[in-house]
Amino acid sequence: MSTVYDFTVKDRKGNEVCLGAYAGKVLLIVNTATGCGFTPHYEPLEAMYKDLKEKGFEILDFPCNQFANQAPGSDDEIHDFCTLKFGTEFPQFKKIDVNGEDADPLYAFLAAQKPFEGFGKGLKNAALNKFADMNNKQFGDKAYIKWNFTKFLVSRKGEVVARFEPTVDMKDVRAAVEAELDKQ
């Protein structure tokens, strides 16, 4: 498979969705959780979505419960939480695994295109790295994603152009999205 458009995923109701339906759009693909310290990322994500959707931008939200059991609810409970607390309107898909033997093939592809390069410098990032490593030992060489709210930026051609760990400032994520939207 050469682009994200070659993948099929399930919407939160279990219906198959070919990502080819998003061809020509800039995508931000995010694994999320409702009980994480990074859950407030939903607010700038939704603001970005509202501001940039008309320019051809989509956020694809994939809840995941593999990081310290921080997304334990059902697909409907997670959706209700996000829409009520953060007013999210971007597409939310079925809860998936992003690591291990049952990792969704999309996430194995994304991580192969843009592997983990670290959380950055500082004590908080070092602490998160240690905690993530402990959590992800169970996945061995299939620990593709290190934590919730890892974001992948995808070009209008379906190519993965950037990976943002949850520790990256959302202003920097938005700047990269806007730069990608400006490309034709």
Query: What CATH code is carried by the domain that includes residue 68?
Result: 3.40.30.10
Instruction: Give the model's pLDDT for residue 132.
Output: 80
Sign of CA dihedral 158, 163, 167, 168: negative
User: Which is catalytic among the residues 18, 36, 64, 82?
Assistant: 36
| Three-state DSSP state, 103 | coil
**82 a catalytic residue:** no
Per-residue pLDDT tens digits for 49-70: 999 999 999 999 999 999 888 8
What does the pLDDT look like over 93-102, one tens digit per residue?
999 999 999 9
Quote the domain boundaries for residue 127.
4-182
- Give me the residue label for tokens 């007013």: 87
* Pick from 6-20, 65-79, 103-117: least confident: 65-79
Of 76-85, 134-143, 148-157, 161-170, the range with the lowest mean pLDDT is 134-143
Residue with tokens 């994304």: 110
User: Tokens standing for 64?
Assistant: 């995941």
| pLDDT of residue 118 exceeding 70 | yes
Q: What is the pLDDT of residue 69?
A: 84
Round to whole Å and give the CA distance between 65 and 69.
Answer: 5
Does the pLDDT value for residue 1 go beyond 60?
Answer: no
Give the tens place of pLDDT for each residue, 6-35. 999 999 999 999 999 999 999 999 999 998
DSSP class of residue 92 equals B
Average pLDDT (44-52) is: 97
d(CA 9, CA 16): 6
Q: Which of 94, 104, 92 is nearest to 144 (CA)?
A: 104
Residue 115 pLDDT more than 60? yes
The tally of domains found in the chain comes to 1
User: Does the pLDDT at position 175 exceed 80?
Assistant: yes
Whole-angstrom distance, CA of residue 160 vs CA of residue 114: 7
Q: Is 109 a residue whose pLDDT tops 90?
A: yes
Question: Would you state the pLDDT for residue 126?
Answer: 81
Q: Which of 92, 73, 61 is nearest to 35 (CA)?
A: 73
Tell me the average pLDDT across 31-52. Answer: 93
pTM value > 0.85: yes
